[in-house]
């Protein structure tokens, strides 16, 4: 029955060709317990409809390997086996980090059970509460258990703005200070992490007496958090795999209002699998102000022009379009320290082109044009071009210095005076000789 | 003559000195002295500019100053060799030879000055 349904969706998807494609590849490995696989059929069908090719694997199965001979086998990996304690040999926290280093994107589901993946989350500055303490909230009043919580979604750069509240069940985590962490969904203010059997109210009372110390509660807890590594691969930690489940996707938030689980899952997958917020620098050039080609070397105090072309990936058309929307791009002209730090502004009328003109500093040496643009949720842009800056050649200096004119005039007047003097002296000499000659005669 | 209002003694001394100088020096020597005076003014002007304003192209200052000083020295030695009162000191050097030495030395001096002026 389910196979038929997925077949139907596949054909519909192929027929209508409405998909948003990832910029790094379409092959996805889904690691999920086989008996739970059917719980996520809506989610998987949505992925297939978008154009991803899913490969399913049980956590303990030996094939297909995630990474083979240092080459990742898939472009993206989804780990929905949040309760499995024993994985196959090639799925370890170290191998997952290695995958991230090779530009593979991950979605990792956590649970209140202690698995090898819980320690992995700590490496990304996300601290999990003690094992066996899922998120609990008694507000708003509802028929579901206190561990199934409707969470309202705040729009940010990753989540679009009109998503209905999302059903969540799982563990929260506290978000550390790392600037590469991108929070996506925060816990509701009235929720807290506690043991499932209700725990002891004494624990709560003790914690509140100590000013909340030891109590995992409040909206500062994250439920779904992303992380973008320096290689620009993205990993999202989801507090519970039930966010993607069919049961939650079909549950209504209130009478007649569907929940936002499918749309939320769509947006999370779009960000994590490099569809949205993906930028890249197409090319950079530099040249002197009146030239068009870059020079081998520049002279101090030259006026230089630096240009960068930046594009953004458009998932709907699957290609890179020039993008002029970065308002705070910055260029540094660096030799050990940035000598020049200036804004790289978009050129109006030329989409995707950013340019700046500046004067090379009065120091000679080997400089670098550095772009280092890191913003939460967007691809990190880094670029560096090395260029030598030499002092002026011996004939590159101004010929006559205006400060030295008195000395020039002094030397010239001395020469003129000397010539006039000797001319008049000799004239006087010949006049004296004539007079002497006349006298002698 | 009625005594002057300012210090009569010093004014009289300067006047007497000047009168003696202009009566007893020949015209050609006065001509050399005028040239020497002009060179001294030029040198002092350049030196004051260097101290008060800037010595920025120091090589230019040295060249201009050395031009005036060197020319002064050469002209002074011409004056002493050409002065008829010194005839006994310079027996082998005729006035023409003195002038020739003066001219040659000046040419070489100007060559160096323009090279160093930058």
What is the three-class DSSP state of A257?
strand
Structural contact between residues A28 and A55, judged by C-beta atoms closer than 8 angstroms: yes
- pLDDT for A81: 87
Total length of chain A = 441
Q: How many A-B residue pairs are in contact by the CB < 8 A criterion?
A: 79
Query: Among all residues of chain A, which has the CA nearest to that of B75?
Result: A418
pLDDT at B5: 47
| Any A CB within 8 A of B104 CB | no
Q: Do B43 and A421 touch (CB under 8 A)?
A: no
Token duo for residue A133 = 């303490």
Torsion of CA A88, A89, A90, A93, to 10 degrees: 90
Task: List A27's β-bridge partners, or say none.
Answer: A53
The pLDDT value recorded for residue A298 is 94
* Residue A398 pLDDT > 90: no
* DSSP at A12: H
CB contact under 8 A, B67 and A410: yes
φ, ψ (nearest 5 deg) of residue A175: -100, 125
Q: Do the bridges between strand A27-31 and strand A76-79 make them parallel or antiparallel, or are there none, so unpaired?
A: parallel
Mean pLDDT of A199-208: 69
Q: What is the pLDDT of residues A80-119, one digit of tens each?
A: 988 888 888 889 999 999 999 999 999 999 998 888 888 8
Residue A223's CB is within 10 A of a number of other CB atoms, namely: 26
Query: What is the tens place of the pLDDT at every residue in A209-219?
Result: 776 667 788 88
Looking at residue A116, what is its pLDDT?
86
Choose among B42, B103, B114: nearest Cβ to A413. Answer: B42
Kindly compute the dihedral angle of the four CA atoms of residues A194, A196, A201, A203, in this order, to the nearest 10 degrees: -40
- Please name the residues between 46 and 65 in chain B that touch chain A, using a CB distance below 8 Å: 46, 49, 53-54, 56-57, 60-61, 63-65
Distance to chain B for A415, nearest Cα, Å: 7
Query: Searching chain B, which residue's CA lies closest to the CA of residue A394?
Result: B118
Comparing B4 with A188, which gets the higher pLDDT? A188
Contacts of A417 in chain B (CB under 8 A): 35, 38-39, 71
Q: CA of B64 to nearest chain A CA: how many angstroms apart? A: 5
Q: Left if phi > 0, otherwise alpha if psi is -120 to 50, otherwise beta: which for A377?
A: left
Yes or no: say if A407 and B64 are a contact pair by the CB < 8 Å rule.
Answer: yes
To test the contact with chain B by mutation, choose from A398, A400, A401, A404 the residue with the greatest count of B C-beta atoms within 10 A, namely: A404
User: Is 90 exceeded by the pLDDT of residue A441?
Assistant: no
Mutation target among A418, A419, A420, A423 for the B interface, most CBs of B within 10 A: A418
Nearest to A411 among B32, B45, B117 (CB): B117
| Mean pLDDT estimate for chain A | 88
Distance set, CA A309 to CA A65, A280, A306, A366, A386 (Å): 38, 9, 10, 24, 18
Give the pLDDT band of residue A32 (cuts 50, 70, 90): very high
Instruction: Say if A419 is an interface residue toward chain B (CB within 8 Å).
Output: no
Report the side by side order of strands in the sheet with A298-299.
A298-299, A381-390, A365-373, A330-335, A337-343
Write down the pLDDT at residue A47.
Answer: 93
Cα gap B47→A108, rounded to integer Å: 82
pTM above 0.80, yes or no: no
Structural tokens at position A218: 């409040």
Q: CA B70 to CA B79: how far, in whole Å?
A: 14
Cβ(A270)–Cβ(A377) below 8 Å: no
The reported pLDDT for the residue numbered B118 is 77
Confidence check on the interface: ipTM exceeds 0.95, yes or no: no
DSSP calls for A29-91: EEE--GGGGGGGHHHHHHHHHHT-EEEEE-TT---S-SEETTEES-SEEEE--TT-----TT-
Whether A389 shows a pLDDT value over 80: the answer reads yes
pLDDT higher than 70, residue B31: yes
pLDDT score, position A17: 46
Checking if the pLDDT of B2 tops 60, the result is no
pLDDT at A9: 53
pLDDT band at A13 (very low <50, low <70, confident <90, very high): very low
The model's pLDDT over A311-337, given as tens digits with 9 standing for 90+, comes to: 999 988 889 999 999 999 999 999 999
Long-range contacts of A392-399 (CB under 8 A, 24+ apart): A392/A299, A392/A300, A396/A299
| Interface mutation vs chain A, best among B31, B35, B53, most A CBs within 10 Å | B35
Chain A closest-CA separation from residue B70 CA (Å): 10
pLDDT of A2 > 80? The answer is no
A71 falls in which pLDDT band (50, 70, 90)? very high
Mean pLDDT of A265-271: 93
**What is the mean predicted confidence (pLDDT) over B25-39?**
90
A263's enclosing H/E stretch is helix A261-272
Binned at pLDDT 50, 70 and 90, residue A345 comes out as very high
Cα–Cα distance for residue pair A124/A226, rounded to 1 Å: 9
Tell which of B32, B39, B73 to mutate to test the A interface (max A CBs under 10 Å). Answer: B39
CB A31 within 8 A of CB A77: yes
Kindly report the nearest CA distance between residue A398 and chain B, in angstroms: 11
Angstrom distance (rounded) from CA A207 to CA A205: 5
| Contact assignment for A410 to B65 by CB distance below 8 Å | yes
Judged by average pLDDT, the poorest of A10-24, A316-330, B76-90, B93-107 is A10-24
């Amino acid at each position: 029955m389910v196979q038929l349904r997925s077949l139907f969706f596949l054909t519909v998807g192929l027929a209508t060709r409405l998909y948003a494609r990832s910029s790094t590849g379409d092959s996805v490995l889904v690691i999920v317990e086989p008996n739970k696989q059917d719980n996520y059929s809506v989610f998987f069908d949505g992925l297939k409809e978008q154009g991803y090719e899913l490969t399913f694997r049980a956590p303990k199965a030996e094939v297909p390997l995630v990474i083979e001979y240092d080459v990742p086998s898939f472009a993206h990996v989804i780990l929905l086996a949040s309760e499995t304690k024993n994985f196959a040999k090639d799925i370890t926290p170290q191998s997952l980090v290695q995958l991230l280093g090779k530009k593979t994107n991950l979605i990792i589901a956590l649970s209140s059970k202690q698995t090898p993946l819980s320690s992995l989350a700590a490496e990304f500055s996300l601290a999990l509460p003690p094992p066996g303490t899922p998120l609990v909230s008694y507000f708003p009043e509802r028929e579901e258990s206190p561990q199934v919580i409707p969470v309202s979604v705040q729009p940010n750069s990753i989540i679009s703005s009109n998503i209905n509240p999302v059903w969540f069940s799982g563990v929260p985590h506290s978000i550390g200070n790392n600037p590469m962490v991108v929070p996506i969904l925060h816990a509701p203010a009235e929720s807290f992490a506690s043991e499932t059997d209700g725990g002891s109210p004494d624990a709560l009372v003790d914690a509140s007496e100590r000013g909340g110390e030891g109590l995992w509660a409040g909206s500062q807890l994250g439920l779904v958090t992303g992380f973008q590594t320096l290689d620009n691969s993205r990993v999202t930690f989801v507090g519970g795999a039930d966010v993607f489940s069919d049961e939650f996707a079909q549950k209504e938030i209130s009478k007649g209002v569907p929940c936002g689980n499918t749309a939320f899952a769509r947006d999370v997958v779009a960000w994590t699998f490099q569809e949205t917020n993906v930028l890249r620098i197409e090319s950079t050039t530099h040249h002197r102000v009146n030239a068009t080609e870059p020079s081998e070397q520049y002279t101090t105090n030259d006026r230089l022009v630096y240009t960068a072309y930046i594009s953004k990936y458009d998932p709907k058309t699957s290609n890179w379009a020039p993008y002029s929307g970065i308002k705070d791009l910055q260029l540094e002209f660096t030799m050990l320290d940035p000598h020049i730090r200036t804004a790289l502004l978009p050129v109006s009328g030329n989409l995707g082109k950013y340019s700046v003109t500046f004067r090379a500093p009065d120091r000679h040496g080997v400089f670098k044009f550095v772009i280092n643009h890191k913003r939460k949720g967007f691809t990190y842009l880094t670029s560096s071009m090395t260029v030598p800056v030499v002092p002026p050649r011996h004939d590159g200096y101004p010929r006559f210095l205006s400060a030295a004119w008195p000395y020039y005039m002094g030397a010239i007047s001395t020469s003129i005076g000397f010539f006039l003097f000797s001319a008049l002296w000799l004239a006087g000499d010949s006049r004296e000789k004539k007079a002497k000659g006349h006298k002698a005669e | 003559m009625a005594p002057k209002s300012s210090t009569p003694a010093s004014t009289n001394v300067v006047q007497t000195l000047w009168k003696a100088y202009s009566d007893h020096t020949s015209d050609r020597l006065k001509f050399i002295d005028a040239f020497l005076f002009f060179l001294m003014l030029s040198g002092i002007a350049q030196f004051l500019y260097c101290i008060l304003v800037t010595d920025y192209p120091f090589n230019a200052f040295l060249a201009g100053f050395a031009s005036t000083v060197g020319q002064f020295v050469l002209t002074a030695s011409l004056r002493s060799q050409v002065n008829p009162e010194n005839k006994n000191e310079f027996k082998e050097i005729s006035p023409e030879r003195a002038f020739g030495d003066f001219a040659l030395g000046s040419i070489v001096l100007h060559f160096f000055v323009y090279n160093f002026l930058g």
